[in-house]
A and B are shown apart, each in its own frame.
Chain A
């Protein structure tokens, strides 16, 4: 296969895969498996992936030299890696908040079951 064909095949595969991914995300939203806050996020990501797969390749070729990368695919991996790292950090922030709130709830339940209602009506700072 000449290089042009390979690139076309690669692009086709990625496009089809992203479309499946988008369908998967939409089904998860429909079945209410993804909460309100994250539905939009994942739909945007899935749509972004479809766009990148369909029209993004020429842009990728132009970006690669700008960030000092020889092979265009490496630029793609780099961007994907950065994106996933940001996503991970975002989830960590959310997880941390859930941890804090969880502790507050657990403590309140313990206090409630002990019968001390007035002692616990304190506002929690930064939860």
Chain B
């Protein structure tokens, strides 16, 4: 098991990102009842990623998330009822695939993902060095960590997943990911419902896509209670491992051939 290592290359050339007609970046912002955090995130996105397109996916929020999203001027996808993070984010992926984006980045509207880190995250994908770049909290010291039990759970899960995909993965639960066209085709077509991040990682790896991790800073939720205790972490890990086990059982032949052809999948 070789360490992938962090890919702190030179920052992506802004001109190449912003002005070249051939490189288009989309940020997918899934939001469920985030009327308070969303405006903050949008302001950061405007400041840090002015060269990126944005699509806000309102996952059936009951509060004023829709109003905030519509007022932003960005493209909004409004789901008629709540699908969960998997369904919401996949809606964004399908939008991105239909519009032929070169890189798609998931940025959660609750504030955990920092728009300022997006440029670092997309660099390896833009350079064609990988199909998926995962922002990991655990590649550098001093970065924001989750609570004690949560970190323990993630570390254990990371060990197991690293064994399955035969690459060193440190943050399998991170949704802060950038997808290239081949990976986008895969997730737009198949993306899990519950706790999608670890399972999607395994699926992408099994389909032959190249995954790398990039050190990324994250922060706690801007709004809301963090109630991750021991029991929740155990339940989460159990469910995730079961889901991964089941996904390993399922036949993936059709999907792998699609990826190998490099064809466009909608």
Q: Chain A residues in contact with chain B, CB under 8 A?
A: 26, 29-32, 36-37, 39-40, 43, 101, 104-105, 108, 121, 123-125, 127
Contact = CB atoms under 8 A, between A and B. Distances in A.
A124 B80 CA distance: 6
A105 B80 CA distance: 7
Chain A interface helix/strand/loop/mixed: helix
B246 interface: yes
A108 B81 CA distance: 11
Contact of A32 (B60, B193, B242, B250): B250
Contacts, number: 43
A31 B78 CA distance: 32
A36 B80 contact: no
B234 to A, nearest CB: 17
A36 B60 contact: no
Nearest to B82: A127
A36 B251 contact: no
A121 B66 contact: yes
Interface residues of B, number: 18
Contacts of A108: 80
A31 B61 CA distance: 35
B251 A40 contact: no
A39 B81 contact: no
Given A121-B66, A121-B78, A127-B80, A30 B60 contact: no
A32 B203 CA distance: 14
B46 to A, nearest CB: 23
A36 to B, nearest CB: 6
B39 interface: no
B81 A104 contact: yes
Contact of A29 (B60, B70, B193, B249): B249
B192 interface: yes
Contacts of B61: 123
